[in-house]
């Protein structure tokens, strides 16, 4: 599985730690920045990761900023993306199992490194399925897609 990861300057250290951690778990990771100089605005990073998911260059994404809010808002502006803000293991699990989110966001000023690893593990090791619960969720996801399309 190919994972895109990016951050703003607030999430720089957590991004680098998570990138290394995810690689040790056997995933292919693409770093979208921000680099050490912090000169890229986070909406552009979120947009790049989201577009590469839509274009099948990535399987999933992880975006980090101070709260996770700005990255989630930015990524969700890309048509077809479902980005979920996560601050605990349960929200990471539900992001995938209930919402089939392609991206999670994490707030580096809210979530510590050890919890961030657990959030990422949970997100990456769960897969949306069309079991009984997934069928119910799929209907809701279809409604979200229709809303986005203006239907």
Cβ neighbours of residue 2 under 8 Å, at least 6 residues apart? 27, 28, 29, 30, 57, 58, 59
Total residues belonging to the chain: 151
In this structure, the strands spanning 28-31 and 103-107 are: unpaired
> Which of these is catalytic: 3, 58, 65, 116?
65
Residue 117 phi/psi, 5° resolution? -60, -40
Residue 65 among the catalytic residues: yes
Active site residues: 65
């Amino acid at each position: 599985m190919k994972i895109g990861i990016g951050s703003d300057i607030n999430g720089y250290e957590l991004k680098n730690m998570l990138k290394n951690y995810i690689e040790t778990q056997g995933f292919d990771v693409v770093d979208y920045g921000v680099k050490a100089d912090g000169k890229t605005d986070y909406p552009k990073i979120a947009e790049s990761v989201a577009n590469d998911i839509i274009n099948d260059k990535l399987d999933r994404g992880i975006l980090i900023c101070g709260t996770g809010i700005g990255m989630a808002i930015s990524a969700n502006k890309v048509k077809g993306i479902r980005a979920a803000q996560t601050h605990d293991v349960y929200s990471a699990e539900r992001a995938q199992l209930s919402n089939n989110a392609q991206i999670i966001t994490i707030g580096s000023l809210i979530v510590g490194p050890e919890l961030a690893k657990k959030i990422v593990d949970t997100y990456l090791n769960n897969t949306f399925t069309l079991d009984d619960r997934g069928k119910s969720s799929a209907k809701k996801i279809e409604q979200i897609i229709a809303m986005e399309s203006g239907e």
